[in-house]
Chains A and B, each alone.
Chain A
Amino acid sequence: MKTTCLHQAHIDAGAKMVDFGGWDMPINYGSQIEEHHAVRKDKGMFDVSHMTVVDLVGQDSEKFLLHILANDVRKLKDSKALYSTMLNENGGIIDDLIVYKRANNNYRIVVNAGTREKDLAWFEKQISNFDAQITEQPNLAMIAVQGPNAIAACLTILPKEISAQLSELSKFSAIDADDFYIGRTGYTGEDGVEILVEEKNAIELWNQLLQAGVVPCGLGSRDTLRLESGMHLYGQDMNEDISPLECGLAWTVRKVDVNFVGSQALMALRENGVKRKMTGVVLTERGILRHDQELVDDKKMTGVVTSGSFSPTLDVAIGMAIVDKDMTDNVKVQIRKKQLPVKLIKLPFVRNGQSNI
Chain B
Amino acid sequence: MSYVPDNLKYTESHEWIETLSNGNIRVGISEHAQSALGDIVFVEVPELDSYASGDECAVVESVKTASDIYTPVTGTIVAVNDALEDTPELINESPYDDGWIFEMEVDNDDELADLKTAEEYRNSIEDEA
User: Which residues from 269 to 287 on chain A have a C-beta closer than 8 Å to any C-beta of chain B?
Assistant: 286-287
Report chain A residues within 8 Å CB of B61. 287-288, 310
| B42 contacts A309, C-beta separation under 8 Å | no
| A32 contacts B59, C-beta separation under 8 Å | no
| B38 contacts A220, C-beta separation under 8 Å | yes
- B63 interface hit (Cβ, 8 Å): yes
User: Which residues from 7 to 45 on chain B have a C-beta closer than 8 Å to any C-beta of chain A?
Assistant: 35, 38-39, 41-42, 44
| A27 contacts B42, C-beta separation under 8 Å | no
Report chain A residues within 8 Å CB of B111. none
Partner of A224, one of B35, B42, B63: B63
Report chain A residues within 8 Å CB of B39. 31-33
Chain A residue nearest to B64 in the complex (CB): A220
Cα-based distance from A32 to B65 in the complex (angstroms)? 12
Chain A nearest CB: distance from B129 CB in Å? 12
- A63 interface hit (Cβ, 8 Å): no
| A287 contacts B63, C-beta separation under 8 Å | no
| A32 contacts B44, C-beta separation under 8 Å | no
Cα-based distance from A154 to B42 in the complex (angstroms)? 37
User: Which residues from 84 to 110 on chain B have a C-beta closer than 8 Å to any C-beta of chain A?
Assistant: 85
Please classify how large the interface on chain A is, using the bins under 10, 10 to 19, 20 to 34, 35 or more. Answer: 10 to 19
Pull 24 A–B residue pairs with CB atoms less than 8 Å apart, ordered by A.
A16-B38, A27-B38, A27-B64, A28-B38, A31-B38, A32-B39, A32-B63, A32-B64, A33-B41, A220-B63, A220-B64, A287-B42, A287-B44, A287-B61, A288-B41, A288-B42, A288-B61, A290-B66, A310-B41, A310-B42, A310-B61, A310-B63, A317-B42, A336-B44
Chain B residue nearest to A218 in the complex (CB): B38
Which 9 pairs of residues, A with B, have the shortest CB-CB distance?
A310-B41, A288-B61, A33-B39, A310-B63, A288-B42, A32-B63, A32-B39, A32-B38, A31-B39
| A33 contacts B42, C-beta separation under 8 Å | no
Most buried by B among A32, A288, A312: A288
Give how many B residues have a beta carbon under 8 Å from the other chain's beta carbons: 12
Known interface pairs A28-B38, A32-B38; A336-B64 also in contact (CB < 8 Å): no
Known interface pairs A32-B63, A220-B63; A286-B38 also in contact (CB < 8 Å): no
Chain B residue nearest to A283 in the complex (CB): B42
Cα-based distance from A306 to B61 in the complex (angstroms)? 18
Chain A residue nearest to B68 in the complex (CB): A336
Report chain B residues within 8 Å CB of A28. 38
Partner of B63, one of A16, A309, A336: A309
Report chain A residues within 8 Å CB of B42. 286-288, 310, 317
User: Which residues from 40 to 82 on chain B have a C-beta closer than 8 Å to any C-beta of chain A?
Assistant: 41-42, 44, 59, 61, 63-64, 66
Chain B residue nearest to A31 in the complex (CB): B39
Fill in one digit per residue for A332-353: 1 if any B CB lies within 8 Å of its CB, else 0. Answer: 0000100000000000000000
User: Which residues from 239 to 285 on chain A have a C-beta closer than 8 Å to any C-beta of chain B?
Assistant: none
Most buried by A among B35, B38, B42: B38
Report chain B residues within 8 Å CB of A309. 63
| A33 contacts B63, C-beta separation under 8 Å | yes
Report chain B residues within 8 Å CB of A286. 42, 85
Chain B nearest CB: distance from A270 CB in Å? 38
Report chain B residues within 8 Å CB of A317. 42
Cα-based distance from A220 to B62 in the complex (angstroms)? 11
Cα-based distance from A32 to B64 in the complex (angstroms)? 9
Chain B residue nearest to A35 in the complex (CB): B39
Report chain B residues within 8 Å CB of A27. 38, 64
Report chain A residues within 8 Å CB of B38. 16, 27-28, 31-32, 220
Fill in one digit per residue for A26-39: 1 if any B CB lies within 8 Å of its CB, else 0. Answer: 01100111000000
Fill in one digit per residue for A281-323: 1 if any B CB lies within 8 Å of its CB, else 0. Answer: 0000011101000000000000000000110100001000000
Report chain B residues within 8 Å CB of A224. 63
| B59 contacts A312, C-beta separation under 8 Å | no
Chain A nearest CB: distance from B2 CB in Å? 12
Cα-based distance from A288 to B44 in the complex (angstroms)? 10
- For the A-B complex with A27-B64, A31-B39, A288-B66 known, give 19 more contacts whose Cβ atoms are closer than 8 Å: A16-B38, A27-B38, A28-B38, A32-B39, A32-B64, A33-B39, A33-B41, A33-B63, A220-B38, A224-B63, A286-B42, A287-B44, A288-B42, A310-B41, A310-B42, A310-B61, A310-B63, A317-B42, A336-B59
Chain B residue nearest to A317 in the complex (CB): B42
Cα-based distance from A287 to B64 in the complex (angstroms)? 13
Cα-based distance from A318 to B88 in the complex (angstroms)? 18
